[in-house]
Amino acid sequence: MTPTRRFAIALVFTTVLLASTVSAQSFDSRPSPERPRDIVALGRYLVQTTGCNDCHTAGYNAAEGKLAEAQWLTGDRLGWKGPWGTTYATNLRLYFAGMTEERWITHARVMKPRPPMPWFNLRAMSDSDLRAIYRYIKAAGPAGEPAPAYVPPGRTPAGPLVQFP
């Protein structure tokens, strides 16, 4: 048998073995949710899956995401203290109440709030995803109270906080 023929047989054998191994692996058989087509439903999906509620909804993580949707995005009194001072997750339901959709898109592209807000994730989103988030929040309507104001470094904030090094 020639070296070329041995190589071809080995290549076919390896391909068949690899294909059978991949098809035999057990994958999670639970259906994954599809991205909704309705823009408000898509906004809800994005808010829920991109972590907006993790900070902007008080108690969301402790409740393992099982809070009434009426509570979503109403801010939190938990402070995030670090070298930048102490920040609080904004009540987005009130924040968006006076903002136009175009202003939101523009703002999301340039904003750079203090930590721990992952502003870079907003910049990575498509305009259509940002519009969907905007429309979901606007459809939810204003609710709740404003979050506490920013506390500059060197001042002691009131209430619970997460301390960064």
Q: Are 56 and 90 in contact (CB under 8 A)?
A: yes
Identify the residue whose tokens are 């709030």.
113
pLDDT single digits (tens) 122-156: 999 999 999 999 999 999 999 999 999 999 999 99
Among candidates 62, 29, 67, which has minimal Cα distance to 48? 67
Element (H, E) at 139: helix 127-140
In this predicted structure, what is the pLDDT of residue 16? 38
In this predicted structure, what is the pLDDT of residue 11? 36
Residue numbers in the chain where pLDDT is lower than 70: 1-32
- Strands (DSSP E) contained in the chain are 79-82, 85-88, 161-163
Q: Domains of the chain: which residue ranges?
A: 35-163
Q: Are 125 and 104 in contact (CB under 8 A)?
A: no
Among candidates 71, 29, 26, which has minimal Cα distance to 47? 71
In this predicted structure, what is the pLDDT of residue 35? 86
In this predicted structure, what is the pLDDT of residue 19? 40
